[in-house]
Amino acid sequence: MTYTTPVQNLLKQSKNNPDKVYLHQPIERHWQKFTWAEVEHQARCIAKGLQSQGYEKGSRIGILSKNCAHWIISDLAIMMAGYIPVAIFSTAHHNTISFVIKHADLKAIFVGKLDDTSAAESAINSDVLRIAFPYPTASTTESFTSWLSKYPPIENVHQASIDDTATILYTSGSTGEPKGVVLTYKNWMSAAQSTALKFNMTSNDRQMSYLPLAHVVERSLEASSLFIGYEIYFVESLETFIEDLNYGKPTVFGSVPRLWTKFQSQILKNIPEKKLNFLISIPIINKIIAKKIRTKLGLECARYFASGTAPIPLSLLHWYEKLGINISEAWGMSESSSMSCINLPFVKRDLGTIGKPISCVTMKLSEEGEILIKGDAVFSEYYRDTETTLESFTDGWFHTGDCGENTATGAFKIVGRIKDKFKTSKGKYVTPVPIESMLSANTDIDQVCVMGSGLKQPVAIVVLNNSISKENSEAVERLKNILTDVNNKLESHQKLDYILVCSEVWDIDNGLLTPTLKIKRNAIEQKYMQLINGELLGDIIWESEIASI
């Protein structure tokens, strides 16, 4: 396959479809539209502004903002000017921002939509030029808007080689300092182009951009849209998410397990589960109800659905299947430039697997059951970390750290992370992910983490949906039933001692979720280890009761 860079694709789309709308940005509930020609013009002006600062070719320029049209325009401008974009998660704390700025030696940084500007204010040194997006943000000396009038469009756009460094992605990381994944244009575009072709994308498609653009999945969406020429709609806030989804009406919709669970909770809040199960068991009525639900979510035009970044419970996939939402589970990582494997075309018997590799990579299992990967999409180095780079490859194969299996159909199945396995005091190893997936069949459970290093038996730490309390005897009974059902399916050393119900929701702000909404096992274990190390009696234990003793 021949690969073309994002800038080459922008110039092609702008030339062929100058007046076609590319980006849709909501601002205080009004939608601002950017055509291909406008995106090119603004990117050229911003590129000129960057070059006027006198930075050397290959200098690293940061972007710290929530998703917005100006994020993508600035990304393109950085590449047009011959520099390397480095994205930082908008939820990053002071230490992470400071680390990335120093490690990547950022010369300038675009700052935009942020829930809290204090981390940016304290972490960005005075010697790093700040350029503000046109939203309330951290204090800056320059602004995106002023540069559009201050600088003329750059005439000679930097034409990168396909093997040049395109970007450095700092992993959100559930442990330790983030690693800088160096992606070339070949890495980035091979995954983006292969993904677009896998989904049969056309210029008439629409996608929502709401997962962090600092994450490889959303950067792949950006690159795919430039390659194909389809439209991108942004989300103004969490509160307007469903409203914005209904406005954009995406034709392809991907999300993460945490949000698929949230959608399920929202649906069950409006229709009790027993009533819903009854209605969707009735022929004809079931299709009407399913269509109504999809329409209310803004997904009536979506022909493909996907989930990635973390394992999704099989029970949740089956639940959505009843609503006509066939979710294709995908797998990938920063080091493989986003999606590498997916259950697409959707195969029902492959539910619970990540399907088969896409065209830009090859995958296999090591003798220990670890997934190994190589191909055009696989990176070659961690930035300024030769030792870790060398440790991560064997004969050209990258060690993903994921444990996998091959099914009879040739699909790959993730059974957990190698580092997530723990040993109980009995000396037996336990893999938590399959147990967590079984527990998630109970729709009262919103979040779950199985742990037990050094304990006689594993335990399940859970967060329940907001409406559930210990006074709800039916819910308590359902928890006891799921504990019994799951334990009946497990080997003796895997059986759960009890379920501990937490008082606090796990989120990004309290450091228990990554920016892509994956649980931080180490942080959760540290928080609750003292509780579970005590002698707790019972099947269902409430943190609030322990705290009151």
Paired tokens of 353: 């697997």
The radius of gyration computed from the CA coordinates of the chain, to the nearest angstrom, equals 24
Q: How far is CA 50 from CA 59, 79, 127, in A?
A: 10, 10, 15
Chain-centre distance of CA 195, in angstroms?
16
> Are residues 320 and 329 in contact, defined by beta-carbon separation less than 8 angstroms?
no
Give per-residue pLDDT as tens, 342-360.
Answer: 999 999 999 999 999 999 9
For residue range 25-70, what is the model confidence (pLDDT) as tens digits? 999 999 999 999 999 999 999 999 999 999 999 999 999 999 999 9
pLDDT at 228: 98
The dihedrals phi and psi of 151, each to the nearest 5 degrees, come to -115, 135
For every one of its 549 residues, what pLDDT tens digit does the chain have, with 9 covering 90 and above?
899 999 999 999 999 999 999 999 999 999 999 999 999 999 999 999 999 999 999 999 999 999 999 999 999 999 999 999 999 999 999 999 999 999 999 999 999 999 999 999 999 999 999 999 999 999 999 999 999 999 999 999 999 999 999 999 998 654 568 899 999 999 999 999 999 999 999 999 999 999 999 999 999 999 999 999 999 999 999 899 999 999 999 999 999 998 999 999 989 988 998 999 999 999 999 999 999 999 999 999 999 999 998 889 999 999 999 999 999 999 999 999 999 999 999 999 999 999 999 999 999 999 989 999 999 999 999 999 999 999 999 999 999 999 999 999 999 999 888 888 888 887 888 999 999 999 999 999 999 999 998 888 999 999 998 778 888 899 999 999 999 999 999 998 899 999 999 999 999 989 999 888 889 998 998 999 888 887 788 899 999 887 554
Distance of CA 282 to the CA centre of its chain: 36
- With residues binned 3-state (H G I as helix, E B as strand, rest as coil), the percentages for the chain, rounded to 5, are 35, 25, 40
Contacts of 290 by beta carbon, 8 Å cutoff, 6+ apart: 280, 322, 323, 324, 325
Q: Is the peptide bond before 345 cis (omega within 30 degrees of 0)?
A: yes
- Taking the C-alpha atoms of residue 480 and residue 465, their distance in angstroms, rounded to an integer, is 16
CA distances from 161 to 7, 190, 392 (A): 11, 14, 26
Can you give the pLDDT at residue 389? Answer: 96
Same fold, 6-177 and 252-300+303-418: yes
* CATH for 6-177 (3.40.50.980, 3.40.50.2020, 1.10.10.10, 3.50.50.60): 3.40.50.980
User: Phi/psi of residue 265, each to 5°?
Assistant: -60, -40
Could you tell me which CATH number the domain at 252-300+303-418 has?
A: 3.40.50.12780
What span, in angstroms and rounded, lies between the C-alpha atoms of 475 and 261? Answer: 18
**What is the token pair recorded at 269?**
């809040």
CA distance to 1, 329, 357, 387, 516, per residue, from 312 (Å): 32, 8, 18, 33, 14
Q: pLDDT tens digit string along 123-164?
A: 999 999 999 999 999 999 999 999 999 999 999 999 999 999
Decide: helix, strand or coil at residue 402: strand
Give the length of the chain: 549
Which CATH number is 421-548 given? 3.30.300.30
Q: Which helix (H) or strand (E) holds 403?
A: strand 397-406
Ordered by start, the domain boundaries in the chain are 6-177, 252-300+303-418, 421-548
Angle at 333 between CA 191 and CA 350, to 5 degrees: 85
For 301-369, where are the E strands, in sequence order?
Answer: 304-307, 327-333, 338-342, 356-357, 361-365
- Evaluate whether 422 touches 452 at the Cβ level (below 8 Å): yes
Per-residue DSSP letter, 350: G
The pTM score is: 0.89
Q: What is the pLDDT of residue 549?
A: 47
